[in-house]
Chain A
Amino acid sequence: MFWNEKAECMNKEEKEKIQLERLQKTVKLAYENVEFYKKRFDEIGLKPEDIKTLKDIEKIPFTTKSDLREAYPLGLLAVPREEIVEVHASSGTTGKPTVTAYTQNDLDIWGECIARGLKMAGAKKEYIIQNAYGYGLFTGGFGIHHGGNRMGAITIPISAGNTQRQLDTMVDFQSEILTCTPSYAAYLGESREKAGIPLEDINLKIGIHGAEMWTSELRNRIETSLGIKTHNIYGLTEVMGPGVAQECKQQNGMHIQDDHFYPEIIDSETGETLDYGENGELVLTSLTKTGMPILRFRTKDLTSLIGEKCECGRTTVRMTRITGRSDDMLKIKGVMVFPSQIEKALLKVHGVTPNYLIHVTRPDILDEVEVKVEASKELFSDEMKEMERVEKQIQSSIRSETGLRVDVTLCEPESLPRSEGKAVRVIDEREFE
């Protein structure tokens, strides 16, 4: 039931003792070996010895994505380069990518975190993992792979794409676990139905999905169309990759592996630390990584923390579903909108796919929003008035979810842009001077 019961079910005192010891060690390692951190500390006269309690972490300056970008490619190493055995990078939609480097020990930690998640979801050593996350610089594919290896389960490195082969593999190998982005899982579910493969012919039991925001509506779709129980997984390249946190069978918050990563929630405007239960930006500090330790990384992901022991028996801190990214938040006509709200609104309309693109422009002085949605066979009709009715229905669903009046455009299946298997959700062409 537990991969590492000692670590996952530790009491508070024990946990905090370990966290403090590891934090002090990490701070010392970073200060003594990484010029960037030394400079940051020296600027405010902070010494590693000043970190005497966990609360003292608040004295440490934040690290941002742009700090990592400036250190591109390997400027933040805390160990000699020859100790690094693997690197990954997050795609650079703006500017240079951010690189993360791993020692063998770091990879072992990664595998450990993923293995804990697999077990949490009910995986057994004899299960087959169909790993449909992309393999490459992206952390998804390799991260899950390291975890599968750690657990000793067969991991099929099928990577993302090639839907026919994915379906064939499900049927031929009878894989029990599917790991991929939620949008791809939904697509595979749709494709299974379209191909007329009965649920009895596949053997999937568990889905582990992350790297994108998703709603409970999308979760329902995936679970029904593939006959699985899904588990939200969280992580980010800058900190490690997937596996920082994951849902157990309770599907009630993601257990953060908090003996390896120390979570805080801050007010993204003021930088002030918030209490458990309050919604704000997640900040993560690595506690055990040595290749590229990271102190107080601002994830931009908005969530809240749950401190109570979970019904599954684990005591690790949980984070709630990501409700948005502080930099994904769109301010349209003065209204705050998250893409996840649009997705939620779409999925309330029968037959609508979760494949959408929000296109924001400002042709004159007012914002205009066009939501493009890929049409499906279910909503297509030979009658124009029926198509217009669907568009109106989508429009009013978005309106009641966000308060915004938007233009809705139906477009052909698979016509919206996707990058590295990840859907592009927002194109904002407004120019702000």
Chain B
Amino acid sequence: MTVKQISIFVENKEGRIKKAIDTLAKENINIRALSIADTTKYGILRLIVSDNEKAIEALENDGFIVKENEVILLSVPDEPNGLNSTLAVFDETGINLEYLYAFVSSKTDKAIVVMRLENMEKAINALNKNNIKILDTQDIKDL
């Protein structure tokens, strides 16, 4: 099971990120996780939100370019090596990591990691084989 993330193209201009966040706030959309990858000129804002459909519509109406794609969410014990054992699974199977970001929730003592891998299908199989639980949309609703 995967979760759908939305990505937004934002220029590195004052106020653009704020504008995107404001657009979501106006629609009462919760942001569960957020990360930014940027160059000096623009950034890619990646978000896990409570309602993708509504978020995409609102953002596009405000002139943003938005894309939706699958990511893998895992909960990782908040301890040294917590993440390493998971990453080792990908190493062993030769699956490249595209990017990763993490967030913590007040409702659990574990960290939630969001990952995008080169081959998502292979990655899901590898995790299943190693009995690592992948979080689904329902799981994160409760966070």
Contact = CB atoms under 8 A, between A and B. Distances in A.
Interface of A: 375-377, 380-385, 387, 409-415
B42 interface: yes
A356 to B, nearest CB: 15
A412 B65 contact: yes
Interface in B3-59: 5, 7, 9-11, 16, 37, 39, 41-42, 44, 46
B11 A377 contact: no
Mostly helix, strand, loop or mixed at chain A's interface?
loop
B39 to A, nearest CB: 7
B83 to A, nearest CB: 20
Contact of B65 (A380, A384, A385): A380
A354 B141 CA distance: 42
A415 B15 CA distance: 14
A24 B7 CA distance: 67
Q: Which of B9, B37, B41 has the most CB of A within 10 A?
A: B9
Nearest to A408: B41
A129 B105 CA distance: 59
A377 B67 contact: yes
A413 B65 contact: yes
11 contacts: A377-B65, A381-B44, A383-B44, A383-B98, A384-B37, A384-B39, A384-B44, A410-B41, A411-B42, A412-B11, A412-B63
Interface of B: 5, 7, 9-11, 16, 37, 39, 41-42, 44, 46, 63-67, 69, 98-99, 116
Q: Which of A376, A385, A411 has the most CB of B within 10 A?
A: A411
B7 A382 contact: yes
A413 B63 contact: yes
B11 A411 contact: yes
A383 B39 contact: no
A382 B116 contact: yes
Q: Which of A376, A385, A412, A415 has the most CB of B within 10 A?
A: A412
A414 B99 CA distance: 29
Contact of A380 (B11, B46, B67, B99): B67
A382 B39 contact: no
Given A382-B67, A383-B99, A387-B42, 5 more contacts: A377-B65, A382-B44, A387-B44, A411-B41, A412-B16
Q: Which of A381, A382, A387, A411 has the most CB of B within 10 A?
A: A382
A412 B16 CA distance: 10
Contacts of A377: 65-67
B41 A380 contact: no
A387 B5 CA distance: 18
B65 A382 contact: no
A387 B41 CA distance: 12
Contacts of A383: 44, 98-99, 116
5 closest residue pairs by CB, A with B:
A382-B7, A380-B65, A409-B41, A380-B9, A384-B37
Nearest to A370: B41
A234 B63 CA distance: 33
Contacts of B39: 384
B41 A414 contact: no
A370 to B, nearest CB: 9
Contacts of A384: 37, 39, 44, 99
B51 to A, nearest CB: 19
A381 B67 contact: yes
Nearest to A414: B63
B11 A382 contact: no
A375 B7 CA distance: 14
Given A410-B42, A412-B11, A382 B63 contact: no
Contacts of B42: 387, 409-411
A375 B10 CA distance: 10
Contacts of A413: 63, 65
A417 to B, nearest CB: 14
A375 B44 contact: no
B96 to A, nearest CB: 10
A412 B10 contact: yes
A415 B11 contact: yes
A376 B44 contact: no
Nearest to B45: A382
